[in-house]
Structure 1
Amino acid sequence: MQIKAAVTQALGHDFEWQAVELAEPALGEIRVRIVATGVCHTDAVARDLGIAPFPIVLGHEGAGVVEALGEGVTGLEVGDHVVLSFGHCGGCGHCLTGHPTVCDTFNALNFGGAMDDGSHRLARDGEALATFFGQSSFATHAVVSARNAVKVDPEVDLALLGPLGCGIQTGAGTVLNRLKPEFGSSLVVYGCGAVGLSAIMAARIAGCRHIIAVDVHDSRLELARELGATHAINGQQEDTIERVREITGGGSQFAVETTGVPVVVRQSLQALKPLGVSAIVGVTPEVTLDVHHDLMAEGKSMIGVIEGDSVPRVFIPQLVAYFKEGRFPFDRLVKFYAPEQINEAFEDSKNGTTVKPVLKIAD
């Protein structure tokens, strides 16, 4: 069928809405009418750094309605509301033990540009277009593996839910699934974008005593306080390490580092108390560490966490339930954009004007 999709032709090119062809869903796949899709930093990385092949249709925080089922699909029906998340094989050791975020074929399925069987579902004028994260949700419709689709509560506004598939899942899951802070513990979040603010809301759910937000924008820090941060530090105006130690009485037990800025990565380690853990979730370049003083001498840990170490079909409905209870108000992060405003949405995300842009594709 013919659909509209935002095509990225080559490295660094703007998104351009064009008519493309979408194939019918194959074995184990579904077709989804996209209602809305989040704009994520990972899409910008793919556009600007070439981590996936071109030409490509990006987008990986889609939410929509199931329109068609391929052969062999169970557990989903036409008309179901779904959130689309990352690709995973479902059969490797990591998938089978509850860690699909480190699936043996994660990179191939999400960044390789093709479906599970190596074929393509998108084409333009007879030329195959690469798929992103197994979904390519910057489009009016998407064909995805049924494994990537999470059935969600139809009572909740579907247009809000796409970011749960990646950015918001990453922040909240890093806290609730991986760090699992004890009640009354201390946690610092470095960077108050969508991922960081989701981590702050999750830390409040977990019952952390000290929830410290670190950023360089006072508006973000104010929002962080409204969403659950007990303290806020402007990293350009204060000594972050000393302030964390002062607030916590010697250092935090946990940290979530979202910025990917090398100096901040080191701060996240240096502000930990002995045996503390810093979770790195941002795309981070080379970092120089004094391994003895920054890490080993006080028994600290630095871990990488992908997609919040989540099982999306379990975790995303939990987040929706927290949202309905008023305990996870992620809608405070969202600003809607029309499809033709896609390039503006990316610019607003980059300059910090909007925390989480969402393209509203259809009603």
Structure 2
Amino acid sequence: MNALILEDDELVGELLETVVAGIHQGANVSLARSLSEAQQLLDSDGRYQLYLIDWQLPDGSGLDLVKRVRAGDRDVPIVMVSGRSDRESVLRAAHHGISGYITKPLDVQLLHERLTKLVPAVEPGHGSADEYLKASLNSVVQLPTDIDPADVLELIGRQQELSPAQLAERWREEAALTARLLDVANSSSFRRTGKPVESLRDAISNMGVAMALNQALALALDVAGKIDNPDLQAQARAFHDMALQVSREAQKLAMRLGKSPSSFQQAGLLSRLGEMAVLKVLNQFTAEGGSLNGSEVEQCIGQWAQDYGNRLKVHWKLPLSLRDMIGAVHFLPKDSTREDRLVMRAAALIAGGQSDSDDCQRLLRRIGLELKPSTEESQYGVRS
């Protein structure tokens, strides 16, 4: 099922999204924060089975969207969400054919009950996985993790102005992230004294804001825990491990070249973004009764990973330079001279066990490094 939520308040929007996802396992939820954004979503992919629409918006009235939807579909469920509770407002909205009216502040239990009655059950097995992926492409804008990668990327974009204390305050309710950062801060690589690090703020201070943000991004991109299908879950873990390995190798190369490793790590972590998104959608497909075999999964990933990855890169507003570095993990034109791209391609080959290949050795020479026959971390020597 595809649902469109039009709500300018970020917290209310996230709450509505959570309720919809809880009612309908595998729902594709598109969240718009303005009337114009919702209109654009309808223009690009107007097939939704549920609408939750706020009345008062920064750029107009949610009733305008209600009128547009009802002009083409008299039956699709539309729930108006508004701070207006007077009888005149309710009647005015009802005149335009809404299916329900919920007032703010939201009563989650009431909302759950109303939506459960409105949202029809999904008949299993409709269409193929390929058709499902095609239909879902324009509505998939996030990965199913507890931490939104878009939020982490936004923080990364302004990391120079963030302090450990500010990050600690922002993340104080994120139990999984806190545990991860404490584990990293207490590892041999970062621990500075014999006394263990016990607070989130101290953990971030120990490793630095940039490293803490990259650890948060790695966790945000780990979708395996939110995928129910065992086969798809195993693939999600494998792709996440691949991304982590590329990130680690890119970090090593960057440091040997005397460069800040942060952007190289990020490119590595994001290098399997499309595959993760495809697996998320395939999990929704199976949750709604669709069936898959191993060859179909591989075919879908091969056909759709790039499209879904590009969709997320645009939605998350990734800088063009970062997108190019991510792309170099998978393909590098022979005439490419940008050092950051050469590093990412070399890191991908090393992570894939191809460090001895002619391509990898040639790339290392082009960036002024050579691969030493050693299993230690510092295995890249700078050529004089």
TM-score per shorter chain, which class?
Answer: under 0.3
More helix by share: 2
Taking structure 1 as the reference length, the TM-score comes to: 0.25
More strand by share: 1
